[in-house]
Amino acid sequence: MSVHREPTDVLRVLPRGRHAAPREVVAESQRERMLVAMAEACAAKGYANVAVADVIERARVSRRSFYEHFSNKEECFLAAYDAGVGGLLDEVADAEEAARSAAGPTAGLLVAARAGTETYLHLLADNPAFARTFLIEVLGAGPEALARRDAVHQRFADRLAEAHAAIRASAAAALPAPAPYVFRAAVGAIHELVTQKLLSDGPEALPELLDAVLEVELRMLGAPPQR
């Protein structure tokens, strides 16, 4: 079963509000444009080759505006990464909850896994600049970026662990509980599949991985693959 979805921007840009807009709205719009610009610049040039000037030009803001929000390029990158990840996780959680509510508490666990996975892959496909930032450019953005990437992977591993615990609780026969590192390994395997697909076939091909990623997830959840 496929979830109905509309293209969604992980990083949203507010209207500029030129006509008597509150100063806070204008400032927030500028900030969001700079976050989008940072992701786009990294996707086009690579993080190491991006300068503050690239962000300013793409976002159509002044250098002064940039430094009112961020102290340097790294801080802007980290803010873009955090905003994109937050949007991604929120959308995935919403899709899973909607699917679970529609299908019921037990069957809904498998339906939710498919809905969340499909949403995750489509969001990356719809946001190619963020996809490259999220999957690839973060690796070269310094120790703080790597620490945040690690935290994101742990959040995904925790979600798998929670789903597995729910299945164990509802199963007729006792199921063993995997060690925590097994869930981290599953996240790493999924990340590798998605990154390789992005590099070889482009972001638009990521939704083609739905069955492969879901199979990895469901095998971790102790359930047979659903095709």
Please spell the DSSP secondary structure of 181-223, one letter per residue.
Answer: HHHHHHHHHHHHHHHHHHHHH-GGGGGGGHHHHHHHHHHHTT-
pLDDT of 61 higher than 80: yes
Calculate mean pLDDT across residues 119-128. 93
* CATH class, 72-220 region: mainly alpha
- Distance separating alpha carbons of residues 74 and 93, to the nearest angstrom: 28
- Distance separating alpha carbons of residues 22 and 18, to the nearest angstrom: 9
| Residue 47 confidence (pLDDT) | 96
pLDDT of 161 higher than 80: yes
Task: Find how far residue 27's CA is from the centre of its chain.
Answer: 25
pLDDT of 55 higher than 90: yes
Domain map (residue ranges) of the chain: 72-220
pLDDT of 160 higher than 90: no
- The most confident of the ranges 133-142, 162-171, 174-183 is 133-142
- Of 75-89, 104-118, 207-221, which range is least confident? 104-118
| Residue 171 confidence (pLDDT) | 64
pLDDT of 3 higher than 60: no
Reading phi first (left if > 0) and then psi (alpha if -120 to 50, else beta), residue 20 is in: left
| Contact (Cβ atoms closer than 8 angstroms) between residue 102 and residue 111 | yes
List C-alpha distances in Å: 53 to 44, 49, 73. 14, 11, 10
pLDDT single digits (tens) 64-104: 999 999 999 999 999 999 999 988 988 988 888 888 788 76
Q: How confident is the model at residue 14 (pLDDT cuts 50, 70, 90)?
A: very low
| Residue 4 confidence (pLDDT) | 45
Q: How confident is the model at residue 106 (pLDDT cuts 50, 70, 90)?
A: low
Calculate mean pLDDT across residues 101-120. 77
What is the rounded average pLDDT for all residues in the chain? 83
- Tokens 């790597």 belong to 146
pLDDT of 31 higher than 60: yes
